[in-house]
Amino acid sequence: MESLEKTRFQLMSLVQKNKVKFLELQFTDVAGMVKNLTIPAGELDASLSKGIWFDGSSIEGYARVAESDMYLMPDPSTFAIVPWRVGSDSIARLICNVHTPDDQPFGGDPRAALIRAVQEAGSMGLAYCTSPEMEFFLLRVGQGGEIVPPVPHDSAGYFDASSDTVAQIRSQLMSTLASFGIPVEAMHHEVAGGQHEVDFLDADSLSTADNMITFRLALKAIAQRNGLYGTFMPKPIEGMSGSGMHVHQSLSYATNGADAFSDPGDPHGLSKIAKHFIAGQLAHAKGMCAILAPLVNSYKRLVAGYEAPVHLSWARINRAALIRVPRSAESGRARLELRCPDPSCNPYLAFTVMLAAGLDGIRRELPASDATEENPYSVEESSRKGHNLLPASLDAAIEALEEDEVVCAALGPHIARRFIESKRIEWHEASCEVTPWEISKYLSNY
């Protein structure tokens, strides 16, 4: 109680010092879209002590009208001044957990699902950290505000020094993330024109998910202020590289912080726990895929036969493998890089299922397959050598999710059901769409 009172006092002091007039209480729906409830700064104390009630019946994947009442409980550790809203009407934000009227975590809250998964790891004496590499595009905006068709803001390539405008945006992004206290390792231009990547430093998975949600908002806001449009769509432009989100994962022992993945005596530098974790993620890769690559468009990026992580294999140097062991394992701390997620995913749900899959491998002591260091880009070669592939469409990924009891249990029945329902609708809509390709291919011939 004394600690809570101290936290309240500290936050209220920050609000007064920074002349904050309003607070944005943030949470996400099942799809990962950020939702805001704005309250006057004077309601901060009440929100911290008893929460703020809202109607969840209109939130994607939340509750039916008959069970719509719920309340937001802010997480005080997420308090931050919104840097692009500083001035006479400064705004601060708090990321919230969603609760039901009986004071229980709401089963449809993605953040709550990750908290459960983290607690499950804690019960096994383990702590889970992640560091994603988020790719995104900056697009030109037409005179009328149009962004279709998408046009990259530049034609630079991998690690190129691009225009002054981009350098300015990159500087603004880095400064903004620093003001939020978000640890970033680097930011650079990616392969495609207009494509960039930001690399987050290792942090506990809940903080990382919070930081990713914050970065999405920051990128959109800063791009708009510079007359551009930022997008995390996986494959916005045909014939150009898609945007992925490789996630580096580490596991440590909760008692002493020692690395649970590292074993210097192993040829790959990996412990038995690490190999069980790999085996668990490979075993549940198909079931996780709809969560990690959640859009119809995601499967325009995950295409077999290209340098895409669709093969259910692991390796050290083979970048077409689903899971890669970076060379940094030789420094004494091992990481596992999962390469199939894309930046459109809900990070809370993504880390939830990734952790659950790995823990299942540890719990059941699943044996890892041999590392696949040869290049399996060829579909024919992959099939001949017996490598499995990820689902080739959102429809197939949804079916795999439905069949995976471990992944569905990690999500919880509410999220699993609502996610599958919404994605089936999305797939049906896409299947009924008559595309420009179909018109150009068939109209003049049939």
Which member of 85, 188, 316, 319 is catalytic?
319
Name the residue with tokens 């996630």. Answer: 247
Asked about 339 being catalytic, the answer comes back as: yes
- For residue 27, the one-letter residue type is F
Asked about 364 being catalytic, the answer comes back as: no
To which H or E segment does residue 394 belong? helix 394-403
Quick one: tokens of 173?
Answer: 């992004």
CA–CA dist 193, 223 (Å, integer): 16
Asked about 120 being catalytic, the answer comes back as: no
Asked about 197 being catalytic, the answer comes back as: yes
Peptide bond into 149 cis (omega under 30): yes
Task: Using CB atoms within 10 Å of the CB of residue 39, give its burial: 0 to 12 exposed, 13 to 18 middle, 19+ buried.
Answer: middle
Asked about 319 being catalytic, the answer comes back as: yes
Asked about 133 being catalytic, the answer comes back as: yes
Residue 390: partners with Cβ closer than 8 Å, 6 or more residues away: 285, 286, 289, 293, 302, 309, 310, 311, 312, 322, 340, 397
Q: For residues 46 and 8, is the Cβ–Cβ distance under 8 A?
A: no
Which member of 190, 259, 263, 395 is catalytic?
190
CA–CA dist 371, 266 (Å, integer): 13
The alpha carbon of residue 79 and the mean position of all alpha carbons in its chain are separated, in whole angstroms, by 21
- For residue 215, the one-letter residue type is F
Which member of 93, 339, 387, 418 is catalytic?
339
Asked about 337 being catalytic, the answer comes back as: yes
Which member of 246, 268, 311, 387 is catalytic?
246
Q: Which residues of 141-257 form beta strands (DSSP E)?
A: 184-189, 195-200, 203-204, 228-231, 245-253
Which member of 29, 197, 263, 395 is catalytic?
197
Which member of 24, 109, 135, 395 is catalytic?
135
Which member of 133, 342, 360, 395 is catalytic?
133
Asked about 190 being catalytic, the answer comes back as: yes
CA distance to 47, 180, 348, 427, per residue, from 417 (Å): 30, 34, 17, 15
Q: Is 408 helix (H, G, I), strand (E, B) or coil?
A: helix
Phi, psi of 147 (to 5 degrees): -125, 5
Residue 224: partners with Cβ closer than 8 Å, 6 or more residues away: 230
Which member of 55, 185, 330, 381 is catalytic?
55
Which member of 109, 210, 337, 404 is catalytic?
337
What DSSP character marks residue 330? G
Residue 124: partners with Cβ closer than 8 Å, 6 or more residues away: 359, 362, 363
Asked about 380 being catalytic, the answer comes back as: no
CB atoms within 10 A of CB 432: 7
State the first-to-last Cα distance of the chain, in angstroms, to the nearest integer: 74
To which H or E segment does residue 96 belong? strand 90-99
Positions marked catalytic? 55, 133, 135, 190, 197, 246, 319, 337, 339
